[in-house]
Each structure stands twice: as C-alpha cells, then as structure tokens.
Amino acid sequence: MAEKQDIAMNEFPINNVADYLYTEKGNNQQKVTPTDLVKSCGFFRLDKTITPGETYELPYNSGLIMVQNASSVHQKAIAVVYGSNTGNIIVPQGAINFFSEVENKFCIMNAGENTKYVVKSTYASNQHIILTFIL
C-alpha cells in the first residue's frame, strides 16, 4: 500500500472539477463545495433536468438571471428581477417566461413580496435548464 504523503499547498495539481475545495482562515482549515463557495459570493448556477410540473426554489429574491432551455435552444433570456415579482427583461427568449406561469415554458417567478424566486417547468416532458442567478 502506498504511504500517505503531505503535499505543500502550492504543489497541488491544477484541476477544474472537484468535489471539495480546501480553504484557510487564520490557522483554521475547512472544506467547501465549489457550489457553496460560489453561492457565498452571490452567484448561483443550476444545470439540471427538470420534470413536468417540477418547481425548484432559487436562493435569492432579487438579482440578475440568465436562463436557457438547453433541451431546445441555445439562446438565453436575461432579466433583472426584483423582490416584488417584477423587473426588466433585458433579452427575451420564447422558451422562458418571467413573472407568471404559462404553458410550455420555463417560468421564473416568486410567490409575493420578498419571497425567493422559483423556476417551474410547464412542459409536458423533461427539459434541461441552465440558469445563472447573480445577487
């Protein structure tokens, strides 16, 4: 069996995919997932297949959202959303609907004043979504 060896932090191999990242603050060390680290900086990324009728809660109640239905189109919709389920759609896209629920789209909306946004699939089949939410 190979012996375990300590490796200096500056000698770690470079890798762009990792289950955990190891961080230091003072003399304390901790591990964090890349998703949690990015989310703590105000960024959230969702890359998943959503089933018909499924609702997925997003972590913020306002910010900048970029959304793509990766199952059908390459174009992305971009909007600035506010806590009151309103906002400005900067780049519309036919597969995405903001602020209300309509059939055969990914719908981005919230339930009321200062509630978190959700994404809901109103498609009849599974659809793959790629979404970036910046606080």
CATH number of the domain that 88 lies in?
2.60.120
Q: pLDDT by residue (tens digit) across 1-53?
A: 556 677 787 777 777 777 888 888 888 888 888 888 878 888 999 999 999 99
In a domain, 58, yes or no: yes
Which residues form the domain of 47?
42-134
pTM of the full predicted structure? 0.78
Task: Name the β-bridge partners of 106.
Answer: 96, 121
Q: Per residue in 66-114, pLDDT tens?
A: 999 999 888 999 999 999 999 999 999 999 999 999 999 999 999 888 7
Domain count, the chain: 1
Edge-to-edge strands of the sheet including 106-110?
55-57, 117-121, 106-110, 96-98
Are 116 and 58 a contacting pair, CB within 8 Å?
yes
Measured distance CA(74)–CA(72) in Å, rounded: 7
